[in-house]
A and B are shown apart, each in its own frame.
Chain A
Amino acid sequence: MLTRSSLTRRLVLKGAGSVALIGLGFGTTPVFAAANDKYPEEAFKQKSDADAIKALYGKSAEASDKVKLDAPEIAENGAVVPIAVTTTLSDVTSISFFASENPNALAASYVIPAGTLPAVANRLKMAKTCNITAIVESGGKLYSATKEVKVTVGGCGG
């Protein structure tokens, strides 16, 4: 059966250009109109937070205390920094993480389909002390929370 994700994988492997997956709608809700399943290659190539957010979402975020970012004060090691986000915002379609001083700010981005909780925990690399920003896309708008995480041993092999 041609599922959304197997289609995506084939497209990624074939290096296909931008494909609007919205119209395929296998009975899923329009929630996918905001986020699509294509690997955001360009966003991962951007250096700064602002450029990466723009490339990923095409808009900018406003800070919100409804986005709760959980990250350590001082990372025990920059190679493995446990970072998590939860939010009380509704209608969340995407969550992503940025590290402002990494060579490329975008670390990870998650598609949150309807029925999946708007909460993600992951482990990221940080090159050095910088701001970690979590972005939550809710109702088509972006909300963010930022926290400085100190790094004493860089996560990139230093």
Chain B
Amino acid sequence: MRARSVLTSAAAALAFATLASLAASAIAATDAPDPAADAKAFKKFFTDKFPKVKVEDFVNGPYSMNEDMHKQWEEKEQFPPYEFALEAGKEMFSKPFKNGKTYADCFANGGIGIRQNYPYFDEKEGKVVTLELALNRCREANGEQPYSYVKDEMASLTAYMAFTSRGKPMDIKIPSDPRALAAYENGKRYFYTRRGQLNFSCATCHVQSPGERIRAEILAPAYGILNAMPIYRSEWNGMGTISRRFITCNSQTRAVPLEPQSDEYRDVEYFLSYVANGLPISGPGARP
């Protein structure tokens, strides 16, 4: 695999323009949204591009793209750095609120083994509800202060919930409700739209260049990219939530980050999770 600095020449910029249209065709442009066809095409794009990668391995992000990295990841997984956050999350999850209720009262199956169903489209509210949002709503409904979406408490809680779903296939539903389809399309549009000073879209890195280097980092494939969340990043020397990662991705590409759980972020999480349906939940994860 050639190491290629994505930021160098004008030739690269031209290549982007060409590849952008190729990437766009990874999802067939249709007049009527067809998420099922999108998901099929999305999966095919990545499995065609990386025929040697076992399909369930895509959830390991950059580690599935590079042998040297995969060995380092295997070593870390023997006794993973997210171990402490996971334990903290389990404790937090079972500790009752001041009013005596617990998180289990807010979720199906007591909150155990349900992470793969998030995000879902809430037909009453008419919006996408993510797991992080649901957890804070649970807190507020029970008289507690919401947690920051980008700090350790939310990361620990979602780490525990992801852990209870490990191995279960991502199972996102899009009801045949025009608002749900619109949210899905909105997320897809956000994913493919270029923004910021570097003029990158999410697809620029994660559809066009998975396995390649952007400066020093190996890029993860978009297929299954949320399955390992939340992640312990060596770069952060700590855990991070999906909210944190979306915000830092925006900042790193010199685009204006949005507020955590803003509509676009909820919708892009909906889109990315849906097209990864069938891939196993592997969270919490460790990343460089």
Give chain A's interface residues, CB within 8 Å of chain B: 72-77, 79-82, 84, 121, 123, 152-153
Contacts A152-B215, A152-B216, A153-B216; A76 near B234 (Cβ below 8 A) = yes
CA distance A77 to B81 in the complex (A): 14
Are A153 and B76 within 8 A (Cβ)? Answer: no
- Does B237 sit within 8 A of A, measured CB to CB? yes
**B interface, size bucket:** 10 to 19
CA distance A75 to B62 in the complex (A): 13
CA distance A73 to B76 in the complex (A): 16
B234: min CB distance to chain A, Å: 4
Are B72 and A75 within 8 A (Cβ)? Answer: yes
Are A80 and B81 within 8 A (Cβ)? Answer: yes
B133: min CB distance to chain A, Å: 30
Chain B residues within an 8 Å CB radius of A123: 75-76
Complex interface bits, B59-78 against A, C-beta within 8 A gives 1, otherwise 0: 00010000011011101100
Chain B residues within an 8 Å CB radius of A121: 75
Complex interface bits, B199-218 against A, C-beta within 8 A gives 1, otherwise 0: 00000000000000001111
- Does B257 sit within 8 A of A, measured CB to CB? no
Knowing that A76-B234, A82-B72, A121-B75 touch, tell me 10 more A-B residue pairs with CB under 8 angstroms: A72-B68, A72-B72, A76-B72, A77-B234, A79-B234, A80-B76, A80-B81, A82-B75, A123-B76, A153-B216
A123: min CB distance to chain B, Å: 8
Q: Which residue of B lies closest to A157 (CB)?
A: B237
Show 29 A/B contacts (Cβ-Cβ < 8 Å), sorted by A.
A72-B68, A72-B69, A72-B71, A73-B68, A74-B69, A75-B72, A76-B62, A76-B69, A76-B72, A76-B73, A76-B218, A76-B234, A76-B288, A77-B288, A79-B235, A79-B237, A80-B81, A80-B234, A82-B75, A82-B76, A84-B75, A121-B75, A123-B76, A152-B215, A152-B216, A152-B217, A153-B216, A153-B217, A153-B288
A157: min CB distance to chain B, Å: 9
A-B contact count (CB 8 A): 39
Q: Which residue of B lies closest to A81 (CB)?
A: B72
CA distance A82 to B218 in the complex (A): 18
**Contact of A77 (CB < 8 Å), options: B68, B215, B235:** B235
Q: Which residue of A lies closest to B233 (CB)?
A: A77
CA distance A81 to B75 in the complex (A): 10
Chain B residues within an 8 Å CB radius of A152: 215-217
B1: min CB distance to chain A, Å: 12
A156: min CB distance to chain B, Å: 11
54-107 of chain B: CB within 8 A of chain A: 62, 68-69, 71-73, 75-76, 81
Chain A residues within an 8 Å CB radius of B73: 76
Contacts A72-B68, A77-B288, A80-B81; A153 near B75 (Cβ below 8 A) = no
39-59 of chain B: CB within 8 A of chain A: none
B12: min CB distance to chain A, Å: 20
A4: min CB distance to chain B, Å: 27
CA distance A80 to B218 in the complex (A): 16
Chain B residues within an 8 Å CB radius of A80: 76, 81, 234
Chain B residues within an 8 Å CB radius of A79: 234-235, 237
A153: min CB distance to chain B, Å: 6
B180: min CB distance to chain A, Å: 38
Chain A residues within an 8 Å CB radius of B218: 76
CA distance A81 to B217 in the complex (A): 15
B193: min CB distance to chain A, Å: 28
Q: Which residue of B lies closest to A77 (CB)?
A: B234
Chain A residues within an 8 Å CB radius of B69: 72, 74, 76
Highest count of chain B CB atoms <10 Å: which of A76, A81, A84, A121: A76
B233: min CB distance to chain A, Å: 8
Q: Which residue of A lies closest to B76 (CB)?
A: A82
CA distance A152 to B217 in the complex (A): 8
B40: min CB distance to chain A, Å: 32
Q: Which residue of B lies closest to A78 (CB)?
A: B234
Q: Which residue of A lies closest to B213 (CB)?
A: A152
Chain A residues within an 8 Å CB radius of B68: 72-74
Q: Which residue of B lies closest to A151 (CB)?
A: B216
